Structure 1
Amino acid sequence: MTEPHPDARSPAFSTPEFRAALGMFATGVTIVTARRSDGTLVGLTANSFNAVSLQPPLVLWSLSHAASSLATFAQGTHYAINVLAADQKTLAERFATRGVDRFAGVAWTEGASGVPLIEGAAAHFECFNRSRYDEGDHVIFVGEVERCSHRPGASPLLYHGGRFYTEHPL
């Protein structure tokens, strides 16, 4: 875990205040998936997804140091980011729950590198695990997108202020 930078001022807020302020930023919801070397499927819900670059095509997401799947993602060569559609709220909740078989009954197909692509997702990004950065209590993963696809017209699942939403055009 990295320490605060010595030139930065100490935070003038509590962790709950920081979390509440972050919750004001609406995000999409993803399930990041991979396959362990023994073939076991791994997946988790993440809303820390963002584009980095168009050339080369790069995206990022982050994972807590405390996550049980950290070693799988840190050591693996490939993963997929599945952008969930509005009707996939129950999948988002399941893949955020500990101690359950997250893939039980979930329809998926195998991507080019063998990672699971969740059927019905609004978009898929199949990524080479390009780089990782330890920052604070998380690891930032940068993926080089090898393949991507999307479902035209699919409404995305959104997360804001601790609740799920779907889009409504203004």
Structure 2
Amino acid sequence: MRFLENVGYLFLLLLFGVCSFSTDAEGVREFTSQKNVYVTEWSKLKHRAELGDPEALFVLGNFYFDPPKGNGFRRNYRKASEFYFQASLRDYAAAQYNIALMLHQGLGFKKNILESYVWFYIASTNDSPVAKHINNKTAVIVLQLEQELSAADLSQAKKKVEIYRKIIKSKRFRDAKLPE
């Protein structure tokens, strides 16, 4: 009889243990299934950039263009230009302005006045409400570059503007190639 009582108690303990383990396992499974657990702000920013967030791409470009002191980043104009270019294609006016400046000065690219004119023009006609201050700056630069470029170069630049605008509008970012 005592044997049956002991077996009964043992059975109840095992049953209770299995039930509590399964609820703990569900809790662990639920915790590990969270997709947005970030160790650092950097990884969060990097993840947002990988998803195509133009603001995150722009901020990463800034980190490589002018890294804050004491953070371990090294200045890398080429890497900055890649992030700025991707943000520019997503119609981010500040990135369009930065990419134009980098092309004009030859930072991260070969110096290319024609391509810089294209991006200054796109930035000057950006209709986002945030772009008002950039539109004013770039409009002056566009007028100045139009006087410096030949008629053939201006014609070629207008064609490139239309190509980039189609890419921006259609959101087919892979169709664009980073200038050299």
TM-score normalised per structure 1? 0.27
**Greater relative contact order: 1 or 2 (C-alpha under 8 angstroms, separation 6 or more)?**
1
Which has the higher Rg, Structure 1 or Structure 2?
Answer: 2
Return the structure number with greater helix share. 2
Return the structure number with greater strand share. 1
TM-score normalised per structure 2? 0.26
